[in-house]
Amino acid sequence: MPVRIERVRADEQNLLWDTLVRQYHYLGHGKMLGCRVKYLAFSGRRVIAAIGWRAASLRLETRDCFIGWTNEQRRAHLGRVANNNRMLVLPWVRVRSLVSYLLSRNIKVLVGDWEETYGRKLLVLEAFVDGRRCLGTSYKASNWIHVGQTKGWTKRRAGYVYHGHRKEVYLYVIDRRFRRILDCEQRPLPQRSAGTEKRERELQMIEGIKDWDPDVVPTMELTEKDMKAMAKALTRFHQRFSRYYRRSEQRLLGLVYLRGLFTTLGRKTVEAIALLLLGEKRVRSLQDFISTYGWDDKGMLREYQQQLAREISTKEGMISVDSSEFVKKGTESVGVGRQYCGTLGKVDNCQSGVFVGYAGENGYGLVDCRLYLPESWFEKENAGGGRNAIFPTA
Q: What percent of the chain has pLDDT over 90?
A: 48
Q: What percent of the chain has pLDDT over 70?
A: 85
Instruction: Give per-residue pLDDT as tens, 278-301.
Output: 888 788 888 888 887 778 888 889
Distance CA 79, CA 248 (A): 34
Supply the pLDDT for residue 136: 87
- CB neighbourhood size of 96 (10 A): 7
Supply the pLDDT for residue 248: 73
Distance CA 106, CA 4 (A): 10
Answering whether pTM is above 0.85, one says no
Q: What are phi and psi of 329, to 5 degrees?
A: -100, -30
Q: What is the pLDDT confidence band of residue 163, given thresholds at 50, 70 and 90? A: low
Judge whether 202 and 80 are in contact, CB under 8 Å: no
Supply the pLDDT for residue 117: 95
Mean pLDDT of the chain: 85
Answer left, alpha or beta for residue 376, where phi above 0 means left and psi between -120 and 50 means alpha.
alpha
Q: Is the pLDDT score of 156 beyond 80? A: no
Distance CA 387, CA 331 (A): 10
Supply the pLDDT for residue 189: 84
Give the pLDDT mean for 273-277.
Answer: 86
First to last CA, the chain: 61
Give the pLDDT mean for 89-115.
Answer: 94
- Please tell me which residue, 276 or 192, carries the higher pLDDT value: 276
Give the 3-state secondary structure of the chain.
Answer: CCEEEEECCCHHHHHHHHHHHHHHCCCCCCCCCCCEEEEEEEECCEEEEEEEEEECCCCCHHHHHHHCCCHHHHHHHHHHEEEEEEEEECCCCCCCCHHHHHHHHHHHHHHHHHHHHHCCCCCEEEEEECCCCCCCHHHHHCCCEEEEECCCEEEECCEEEECCCCCEEEEEECCCCHHHHHCCCCCCCCCCCHHHHHHHHHHHCCCCCCCECHHHCCCCCCCHHHHHHHHHHHHHHHHCCHHHECCHHHHHHHHHHHHHCCECCCCCCHHHHHHHHCCHHHHHHHHHHHHCCCECHHHHHHHHHHHHHHHHCCCCCEEEEEEEEEECCCCCCCCCEEEEECCCCEEEEEEEEEEEEEEECCEEEEEEEEEECCHHHHCHHHCCCHHHHHCCCC
Distance of CA 301 to the CA centre of its chain: 12
Supply the pLDDT for residue 282: 80
- Please tell me which residue, 348 or 235, carries the higher pLDDT value: 348
Supply the pLDDT for residue 389: 38
The number of CA neighbours under 13 Å toward the Cβ of 262 is: 19
- Burial of residue 245, with CB atoms counted within 10 A of its CB: 0-12 exposed, 13-18 middle, 19 or more buried: buried
Q: Is the pLDDT score of 22 beyond 80? A: yes
Give the pLDDT mean for 302-314.
Answer: 91
Q: Is the pLDDT score of 381 beyond 80? A: no
Complete domains list, the chain, with CATH: 3-182 (3.40.630.30), 194-291 (no CATH), 315-390 (no CATH)
Q: Are strands 145-149 and 153-156 parallel, antiparallel or unpaired?
A: unpaired
What's at 175, amino acid-wise? D
Q: Are strands 346-360 and 124-129 parallel, antiparallel or unpaired?
A: unpaired
Nearest of 83, 73, 81 to residue 174 by alpha carbon? 81
Nearest of 262, 260, 291 to residue 278 by alpha carbon? 260
Supply the pLDDT for residue 388: 40
Q: Is the pLDDT score of 123 beyond 90? A: yes
Instruction: Give per-residue pLDDT as tens, 179-211.
Output: 999 999 999 887 655 555 555 555 555 555 566
Supply the pLDDT for residue 216: 66
Supply the pLDDT for residue 166: 79
Give the pLDDT mean for 129-147.
Answer: 89
Supply the pLDDT for residue 111: 96
Q: What is the pLDDT confidence band of residue 268, given thresholds at 50, 70 and 90? A: confident
Q: What is the pLDDT confidence band of residue 160, given thresholds at 50, 70 and 90? A: low
Distance CA 88, CA 99 (A): 8
Answer left, alpha or beta for residue 353, where phi above 0 means left and psi between -120 and 50 means alpha.
beta
Judge whether 124 and 61 are in contact, CB under 8 Å: no
Instruction: Give per-residue pLDDT as tens, 208-255.
Output: 556 667 666 666 676 777 777 877 788 888 888 888 887 777 888 888
Instruction: Give per-residue pLDDT as tens, 56-76.
Output: 998 899 999 999 999 999 999
Distance of CA 151 to the CA centre of its chain: 9
Q: Is the pLDDT score of 159 beyond 70? A: no
